[in-house]
C-alpha cells in the first residue's frame, strides 16, 4: 500500500474548510489544516502539497519556500471564480534562447484539464 500524500491546508477560510472536508474523503490523502502564519508547521510536517486561498494569499508561501522544497506544490484556490493556481519549484536547465522557446511551446501546448 502506498503512503498517503501529505496535504496541508494553510488558512481557515470557509472555502478552505469545505475543500478540506471533501479531500479527507479521498483515501490517499493525509489532510491537515493550520492557521496561516504558522510557518513552523510548514517545516515540521513536510507537506507535499499546500493549499491556500487565492483571495488572501499568505506572504510566506513564496518562491523562497519553493527553492527550499522544490518538490512542493503550492495550490491557490478561488471557488468564487473557479480558478486554481498551481506553483511548483520544478526547475529546467536552459542554456539558450532556443531551449527557452522550446520550453514555452511545450507548456503552451499542454491542455487544461476540466
pTM for the whole thing?
A: 0.77
CATH architecture entry for 5-109: 3-Layer(aba) Sandwich (3.40)
Q: Residue 53: is its pLDDT beyond 70?
A: yes
Query: What's the distance, CA 59 to chain centroid?
Result: 14
The per-residue pLDDT for 114 is 47
> Could you give the CA distance from residue 106 to residue 7 in angstroms, rounded to a whole number?
28
Q: Is 29 helix (H, G, I), strand (E, B) or coil?
A: strand
Does the pLDDT value for residue 113 go beyond 60?
Answer: no
Q: Are 76 and 57 in contact (CB under 8 A)?
A: yes
* DSSP structure string for 49-98: EEEEETTS--TTSSHHHHHH-TT-EEEEEETTTTEEEEEE-------SHH
pLDDT tens per residue across span 11-43: 888 888 888 999 999 888 999 988 877 766 677
CA distance 18 to 101: 40
Amino acid at each position: 500500500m502506498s503512503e498517503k500524500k501529505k496535504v496541508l491546508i494553510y488558512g481557515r477560510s470557509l472555502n478552505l474548510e469545505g475543500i478540506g472536508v471533501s479531500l479527507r474523503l479521498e483515501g490517499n490523502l493525509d489532510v491537515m489544516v493550520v492557521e496561516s502564519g504558522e510557518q513552523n508547521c510548514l517545516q515540521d510536517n513536510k507537506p507535499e502539497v499546500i493549499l491556500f486561498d487565492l483571495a488572501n494569499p499568505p506572504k510566506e508561501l513564496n518562491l523562497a519556500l519553493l527553492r527550499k522544497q522544490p518538490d512542493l506544490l503550492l495550490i491557490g484556490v478561488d471557488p468564487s471564480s473557479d480558478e486554481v493556481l498551481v506553483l511548483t519549484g520544478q526547475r529546467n536547465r536552459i542554456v539558450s534562447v532556443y531551449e527557452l522557446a522550446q520550453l514555452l511551446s511545450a507548456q503552451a501546448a499542454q491542455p487544461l484539464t476540466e
